[in-house]
């Protein structure tokens, strides 16, 4: 049987077989059930996962309330730096469930986002009065 791959999204790498989440070389500690909820959402990325489905998948044969699931999602958002109102990773569909909305790839390296810094405008130096529009 082929081992489950690692999943990469944004700067993160989720490795279910080793139960690890990392951002570059930095490991991010998650409680086991929080990790399981994240892994389930990532495995089903792009699809609405109902609260009942998540509860059944992560807590089989155990009765837990919605508050446990909401707590896990809150901790996932904190770990990923995500926001409820402007989600980049986990979207809440009110009274329905959750959807993992970031692009996910399988492999060993996270998606890199290239950021181009804007150079500040050059300031005129004292000996370049022509730059400032004045003459000495």
Task: Specify the CATH number for the domain of residue 40.
Answer: 1.10.10.10
CA–CA separation, 45 vs 117, rounded Å? 31
Number of domains forming the structure of the chain: 1
Let me know if residue 120 belongs to a domain.
no
Q: What pLDDT does 93 receive?
A: 94
The DSSP letter of residue 31 is: -
Question: Hey, how many other C-beta atoms are within 10 angstroms of the C-beta on 54?
Answer: 21
Per-residue pLDDT in tens (0 to 9) along the chain, 136 residues: 677 889 999 999 999 999 999 999 999 999 999 999 999 999 999 999 999 999 999 999 888 888 999 999 999 999 999 999 999 999 999 989 999 999 999 975 544 333 333 333 444 444 444 444 444 4
Let me know if residue 127 belongs to a domain.
no
Let me know if residue 131 belongs to a domain.
no
Q: Which residues span the domain enclosing 52?
A: 7-106
Cβ(110)–Cβ(12) under 8 Å?
Answer: yes
CA–CA separation, 40 vs 30, rounded Å? 14
Let me know if residue 96 belongs to a domain.
yes
CA–CA separation, 85 vs 27, rounded Å? 26
Cβ(124)–Cβ(132) under 8 Å?
Answer: yes
Let me know if residue 1 belongs to a domain.
no
The pTM of this model reads 0.77
């Amino acid at each position: 049987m082929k081992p489950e791959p690692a999943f990469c999204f944004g700067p993160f790498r989720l490795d279910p077989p080793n139960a690890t989440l990392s951002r570059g070389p930095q490991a991010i500690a998650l409680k086991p059930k929080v990790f399981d909820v994240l892994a389930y959402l990532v495995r089903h990325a792009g699809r609405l996962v109902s609260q009942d489905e998540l509860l059944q998948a992560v807590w089989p044969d155990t009765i837990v309330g919605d508050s446990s699931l909401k707590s896990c999602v809150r901790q996932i958002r904190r770990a990923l730096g995500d926001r409820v109102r402007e989600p980049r990773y986990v979207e809440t569909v009110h009274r329905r469930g959750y959807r993992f909305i970031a692009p996910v790839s399988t492999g060993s390296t996270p998606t890199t986002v290239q950021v181009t810094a804007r150079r500040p405008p050059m300031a005129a130096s004292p000996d370049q009065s022509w730059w400032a529009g004045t003459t000495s």
